[in-house]
Structure 1
Amino acid sequence: MVTVLDTIAEAKQRLRHPEKAHRPDTEIARKPEWIRVKAPTSQGYRDTRELVKSHNLVTVCEEASCPNIGECWEKKHATFMIMGEICTRACAFCNVATGMPNALDPHEPENVGLAVAKMGLNHVVITSVDRDDLADGGAQHFVEVIHAIRRHAPGTTIEILTPDFLRKPGALEAVVAARPDVFNHNLETVASNYLTVRPGARYFHSIRLLQRVKELDPTIFTKSGIMVGLGEERNEVLQLMDDLRTADVDFITIGQYLQPSRKHHRVVSFVTPDEFKSYETVAYSKGFLMVSASPLTRSSHHAGDDFDRLRAAREKKLALAS
């Protein structure tokens, strides 16, 4: 039965995603028990929300409708999304609005640095919308945010989750030169899905971008993530793992795709916890230093704890090699 609330939610999605209005409706599948989460209600969640709003910041936690927002914000963990709330691309899986973005906020780097210091974060994740409208894809803005965090919170380790900087010469090099601790760029899905799921991107360009980071600075950890349940075959996921290892990527995350609205790509399947465990086992056997694979895994979920484990895994590997 369609309720008034359902109708309002759909109307909001049409306003948020006018570029997806031409897509046919797809029924949103009922989530299995293992993937349901409670609505956030804690005081810690409300405190983090107020801090984010007071500094005029945007988080991917909200914009991408992350199912882990209650857990993360209660612990004062947040992934900041820089360069606005409007993306220049219209990926079929993504809940971030698409259109022509506003001008960059020159105060944003400083605001992010101050917020990180005020929250007392040991580890912070910075991501962004795609900014194909900018000559450098927003690379210099990433650099300024990294520098601002270093000034205000010198003890905080920094993880960035970047766009692909497609056809933006020198952009990647500028960001790597700012020396984030972790460079994350998500493949999102297997190669055969790119035309329908991620049409503005190029699978092998993304692989090459991650490989280039290691060539420029081998000390930076590299990371990439995918969603499953988009119609991929198991052998395609295993091939993707091999492609990432060829690029010397250290860390892979694998999570369940959840459909934001009827206008987004449908969920083809819900992958079981046992299947995720199998992916984790195989990924470790292929040589990844860190693997996070579960229905609710997202790129920045538990990022701080994962960074500590990632660093320990590298130290152990080096000790065994010496």
Structure 2
Amino acid sequence: MRSIQSQTWTDFEAIVVDDGSTDASWDLLLSSGAAADGRFRCVRQQNAGPGAARNAGAKLARGRYLAFLDADDEWEPGHLQRATACLQSSPGCRVYVSAYDTGQYQSLQVNLLQKCIAQSGRWSLEPGLGPVGVKRVVDACQVSCLVMETALFWHYGGFYEKNRSTFGEDIYLVIQVVFGSDIWFELEPLVHFHVEDSELGVKRVGERPIRPHLLEPEPLVAHCPPERRAQLATLFAYYRLLETEKFARKGDWGTITRMRRQYGWPGKVPMAMRLREWKVPVRTLVGGLQRTLNMPSARS
């Protein structure tokens, strides 16, 4: 919160949402200097996941733009100033994304924006950009780096919040932004990630659920310009390939077959993807055998 109070752009309201924390976070919030700052509004709700918490804050917002900051991240003092200046200088551009810095954890979560964008400025999705490149842009649009018009945020439905989703709830929104809107990309890192403190970041372990945009793709397709829908379908096929590789390790051929039918490649399959597709049945067989060998015998 100190990084919010340190912003050089001072005409803002900050809505702090406590998403059902079970530690002393709420008491610390109320006793902090931010609680006495008239620009801050503190609300509390039952835990419903990060998407629901962000949406709850957005519903209370009264400004033209929305900016998001997760509890374990920080903004540089000029973040909001730069975002506002860039958006106001480029009519029709309604989304801003800055680069980020992860400090000593840079090798674990690299600054993808600096790897996929050549220079700061207004960007629009190129028709020839393949699924790997599109996914890289999507992954570069981190929540704490995002500033966008409130009206556009709600046009896309906000963050995905069903089933207390903690994986891909932000990507559900970002894919719509990447395909439907121009974005101002700022290559100077104006956001700092403290992934060592993150419960949802690079240290998270365990099986990740299916990405929500593969569970409910209809809104994404509806908001995608018709001339870009084949490109979106190719991206879905690539995400599906990533999911089927995960299910292959579990030997789950039924789910793989179902997902392949739903998210096939809309055109010619790139050779690199074709090779990966061919490996899936082999991995499924190996995964199934490993599970069988690891099962306890009937006598045990």
TM over 0.5: no
The structure that has the greater radius of gyration is 2
TM-score (norm 2): 0.27
Question: Which structure's residues are more often helix, by fraction?
Answer: 2
Relative contact order higher in (CA < 8 Å, ≥ 6 apart): 2
